[in-house]
Amino acid sequence: MRAAGGGFGRADAGQPGILRPSRTLKRGNDRIGTCADARAVLATRAGRTERRDGGGTGGAVRERVDQGRLGAPELGREPGERATLVQFSSAFCAPCRATRRVLADVAALVPGVAHVEIDAEDNLPLVRALGVVRTPTVLVLDGEGRIVRRAAGQPRKADVIAALGEAVA
């Protein structure tokens, strides 16, 4: 596991770029997101939504989405049968082009795996709902559309394959 930038691994507090299980949407200076956008995108697909306001002034607002799934309406195409590699990109992002090649190569290697690239600028409600703050951001979805891993930055091919192993297991 790499300590920074695009590596895939378990969630460890304070390690940026680590692909991790994530079902909590946060608001703050380092996160983009609104409760309304999160509800609009995920409410119909979530098993349970819960809002908690911190006590006192300036309390944090968190949206927790249990069993939220991404499907064809959110992705713009059918997800993979076994897993889906979702990439959020932007027009002038050089690492996004390299990430596209890595994810396409891995998707071609594993039957039933799809690679879906989403333009972050054209899909702001989804970007906000998922807490995407930089490109490229990669989500690994299992066969049911649940997010099992997440990373920001350009991932290595070996890291993608390892993260995909968890999704198809």
Whole-prediction pTM value? 0.64
Enclosing domain of residue 100 = 69-168
CB neighbours of residue 84 within 10 Å: 27
Pairing of strands 61-66, 24-26: antiparallel
Percent helix, strand, coil in the chain, to 5, is 30, 25, 45
For residues 71-100, average pLDDT: 94
Is the pLDDT at 155 greater than 80? The verdict is yes
The arithmetic mean of pLDDT across residues 125-146, rounded, is 94
**CATH, residue 114:** 3.40.30.10
Residue 169 confidence class, pLDDT cut points 50, 70, 90: confident
Beta strands in the chain (DSSP E): 24-26, 48-53, 61-66, 83-89, 113-119, 137-142, 147-152
Residue 116 lies in a domain: yes
Of residues 46, 47, 44, 27, the one with CA closest to residue 35: 27
Q: Within a domain: residue 121? A: yes
Q: Is residue 83 part of a domain?
A: yes
Q: What is the structure's pLDDT at 166?
A: 87
pLDDT value of residue 83: 96
Query: What are the pLDDT digits (tens) for 1-50?
Result: 444 455 664 433 334 444 544 443 343 433 333 333 433 444 334 433 33
Coil vs helix vs strand at 85: strand
Q: What is the pLDDT of residue 6?
A: 57
Q: In this predicted structure, what is the pLDDT of residue 168?
A: 87
Q: What is the pLDDT of residue 163?
A: 93
Asked if 113 contacts 139 with a C-beta cutoff of 8 angstroms, the reply is: no
User: Is 87 contained in some domain?
Assistant: yes
Q: Taking residues 76-100, what's their average pLDDT?
A: 95
Preceding omega of 136 cis (within 30 degrees of 0): yes
- 22 in a domain, yes or no? no
160, part of any domain:
yes
Average pLDDT, the chain: 72
Domain total in the chain: 1
Q: What percent of the chain has pLDDT over 70?
A: 60
Residue 82 lies in a domain: yes
Residue 147 has pLDDT above 70, yes or no: yes
Within a domain: residue 31? no
Name which residue leads in pLDDT, 20 or 136: 136
pLDDT confidence bin for 79, thresholds 50/70/90: very high
| Phi and psi torsions of 110, nearest 5° | -110, 115
